Structure 1
Amino acid sequence: MSVFNAPRANVVASWFTAIAVLLMLAACSGVGIVATADPYEKLAQAKHLESAGRISRARQVAADAAAEFEEKGDLKGLSQAYRQIAFLIQVYGEDTILAGDGGSGPAELSTERADASTAYLEKAVAIEEQLGNDGILTSLHYSVGVNYALSARPAQACAAFDRSLAAYREAKRRQPGREATLPPGFATFEELIGQAKQEAGCL
């Protein structure tokens, strides 16, 4: 199985599934938005908006949630908001209305778009390092690697994939029974990382 040459409809989704990213909440077709002071509810609303194709509005609501998490000092929520915004940028770019292939994931990214997504991922990395959440760091570093790989920067991509593997091994050391969710065709996370690095051009 090729990580980067998978069918376009499965590209980004398969990467995020493989590392058990918490961004991929159950999709819902609802469009209406109810005013709420709960930033976690706002993140859920952003997912509803994404599902309905209202991408610009989804980013705005997620950004509002991030601002509220920051004001409250809720690092867990702030990291989640940053990850959600990064995902929206990675998959949809600056699109305001969902169209075409359904925002299933790009076959390549412009440097500007990749860096915009990565900027939010790195903010989340700083938080999760502070919180010591190696499982989430595994996902974050992998996602950074994907951004670099899709924007044709193999050295940076492979460094990020190496950080992902290091975080995974630390998570396993702390919780030996914990396993990553892998896509079909991969028996271990090490195998997934190896394939990603090969496809990125660093092996």
Structure 2
Amino acid sequence: MKYQIIPVTPFQQNCSVIWCENTLEAAVVDPGGDVERILNEVNKLGLTLNKILLTHGHIDHVGGAKKLAQQLNINIIGPHVADKFWLDALEKQSQNFGFPTTEAFEPHQFLTSGDTVTVGEQTLEVIHCPGHTPGHVVFYSKQSGLAWVGDVLFRSSIGRTDFPQSNHQDLVNSITQKLWPLGNHVSFIPGHGPMSTFAEEREHNPFVADQLLG
């Protein structure tokens, strides 16, 4: 699985264009905004974008999804249905966070653990990881040892849990019980900031390091 990270929105959210090297079919993960910038990158790479993948319902991750889907006539896939209330409140979110007005939408498909999503000849496993939001999902490429974790986990930090229906213990459980078992070798692309590995976070992350949690 190949990828290109494109920081978008005033929140500098890590939108990712991911693609299959054999077919040049692509998906975009969490297009929070700056749709033309995303499309320019897709065109520069010579890719065919055919789906949008969402990790969760916060506006800095989904703000450009509807526009992009309509422009290219492609499907929006994810997150888990438990984040529907966030997608329904997108207009209010845009007002609260100073984003351009964004209309509510419903994805073509909600996801849950055990689902898979294909990008060309590549397969992503879906893992439901509640905590930051109740419907947050992670996309994992076993073949590449790569995970797109949204706002579940960051380098040296974890997602905020001061939003409606957030839960700190659920978040810690998602990280330690669902992500760590994938293996220390896994590299992850977070929703914000630099990449890291599960090994690095298990050793040094001040919120979920093994030595802190016993």
Q: Is TM more than 0.5 here?
A: no
TM-score where L is the length of structure 1: 0.36
Larger relative CO (CA 8 A, sep 6+): 1 or 2? Answer: 1
Q: Which has the higher helix share?
A: 1
Q: Which has the higher strand share?
A: 2
TM-score where L is the length of structure 2: 0.35
